[in-house]
Chains A and B, each alone.
Chain A
């Protein structure tokens, strides 16, 4: 257990309610609103913790001191920040009830949890889940049939909905469970981290993402090949029509390997070069 109870002083005082933790959860959605290079999510962390501070401390001075404690640097993955908020809420509650917990102890726990959650969270949510959710939306366009070829295309609503559902099916679970679970497992941060199974989830989603991209490529090539050769002129004709697609793919694949993160510039350059070449042919 973090914090030792002094002999003869029973822990008594205000206790946190479920409603307070729910308020912290809802405020954690705005964690990055005042993001800055120096403190990262520090201000957002303090903002999310205000319902806890209001419940545990009375008087402007006490509340101000508690708020100041949490205004320093804090950086983790925003979806997983709830776990740290839950743990810190529990520690603040104990402190308010007279149990000896130093400010440095709370800071140490924050940092000890924030770093691994960021290390697991960034690859899971930013690198894997977000692209996968977009891919599911794109696949929706390839798989879903048109109800009426000449009427309104409802895929314009279904595809973004698929993307949103895919992302939130995973992320919302962590967002909602974060604060209460962190509060419940505040004494054993190691067990808390282990119970999230973030590495396993990342592996599964990475493979799903690659699998989905394979599906998308074949579906797209199938449609392109069909539209490229409506009169069944043969494979040579299809190859000729698909050549710009393949050239664009190869050029961009090489470019991205050489200049990672420059996808936008490479795409604009490719479009410009293609237009320039086409005017000379």
Chain B
């Protein structure tokens, strides 16, 4: 569960906080990136039917790219919509990182196949300690791959953003950022609908009950309703 985009994004954001100068957005950008990626990267199909995606590192890379770019590129690409642009940049970086990270899974599985043959030999020889060492090596490799990819993906994402964003700075305006953000938010909610409402039986009925319950609460509190 630590590998969920929301968790990774928020933890990376809390660790990478660029300081008081950016306080207003530094902790809200990770939340925004985490929420969008959580909705977009949750696949309701069974694991065997899913496309290979590295969901675990997507949130970390997305948030890191967003925060570092905000700190470095704000003077070049400055819009009136505050952190929304950087949430967009982080989400797109996270989506691309999840695809690329998925491709990196394949060599790891191939390596596990080699380890399995070695494990057979060790078991036949009764060398339990060596077998355990081989297995802990596998655990370490997973961790190392995730850590390396998180760092490499972040560097690649920052480099790409530093190259692309100044080139298209003239077309990045507040209203355009808002428009793209709204479309991406709609896409994320469609993905969430697909996962939480369309997949389970009686989903629409229970979703309607949830919506009705909140409308009643908002009406009771005197707040605005959609």
- Which A residues fall within an 8 A CB radius of B? 30, 33-39, 42-44, 46-47, 50, 53-54, 59-65, 67-68, 71, 122-123, 126-128, 130-135, 137-138, 141, 150-153, 155-157, 159-160, 163-164, 167-168, 171, 206-222, 224-226, 241-242, 244-253, 255-257, 260-264, 266-268, 270-271, 273-275, 278-279
Chain A nearest CB, measured from B174 CB (Å): 11
Distance to closest chain B CB from A71 (angstroms): 6
Q: How far is the CB of A151 from chain B (nearest CB, A)?
A: 7
Given A36-B112, A131-B195, A157-B10, CB of A206 within 8 Å of CB of B203 = yes
Give 1 or 0 for each of B36-62: 1 = CB within 8 Å of chain A CB: 001111111111011101000000000
Q: Is the contact region of chain B dominated by helix, strand, or loop, or is it mixed?
A: helix
B interface residues with partner A (beta carbon < 8 Å): 1-2, 4-7, 10-11, 13-14, 23-24, 27-28, 30-31, 34-35, 38-47, 49-51, 53, 88, 92, 95-96, 98-99, 109, 112-113, 115-116, 119-120, 123-128, 131-132, 135, 138-139, 142, 171, 175-176, 179-180, 182-197, 199-215, 218, 223-226
CB pair B124 A214 closer than 8 Å: no
Query: How far is B56's CA from A134's CA once the two chains are assembled, in angstroms?
Result: 13
Q: Which residues of B contact A42 (CB under 8 A)?
A: 116
A127, B46: Cβ atoms under 8 Å?
yes
Residue among A38, A39, A61, A209 facing the most chain B CB atoms (10 A cut-off): A209
How far, in angstroms, from A160 to B60 measured CA to CA in the complex? 13
B116 touches A213 (CB 8 A): no
A163 to B31, CA, bound (A): 13
Which one of B95, B125, B126, B176 has the highest number of Cβ atoms from chain A below 10 Å of its Cβ? B126
Given contact pairs A47-B131, A210-B202, A248-B183, A256 touches B99 in the complex (Cβ within 8 A): no
CB–CB B10/A126 < 8 A: no
A-B interface, 5 closest residue pairs, ranked by CB to CB distance from nearest? A248-B186, A214-B210, A64-B126, A60-B126, A252-B190
Is the beta-carbon distance between A225 and B183 smaller than 8 angstroms?
Answer: no
Chain A: interface secondary structure?
helix
Do residues A67 and B123 form an inter-chain contact, with CB atoms below 8 A? Answer: yes
B99 pairs with A245, CB closer than 8 A:
no
Known contacts A137-B7, A209-B196, A210-B204, A122 near B180 by CB under 8 Å? no
Q: Which residues of the partner chain A approach B125 to less than 8 Å between Cβ atoms?
A: 60, 64
**Contact present for B187 and A248 (CB under 8 Å):** yes
Contacts of B209 in A (CB 8 A): 211, 214
A213 touches B128 (CB 8 A): no
Complex alpha-carbon distance, A219 and B218, angstroms: 9
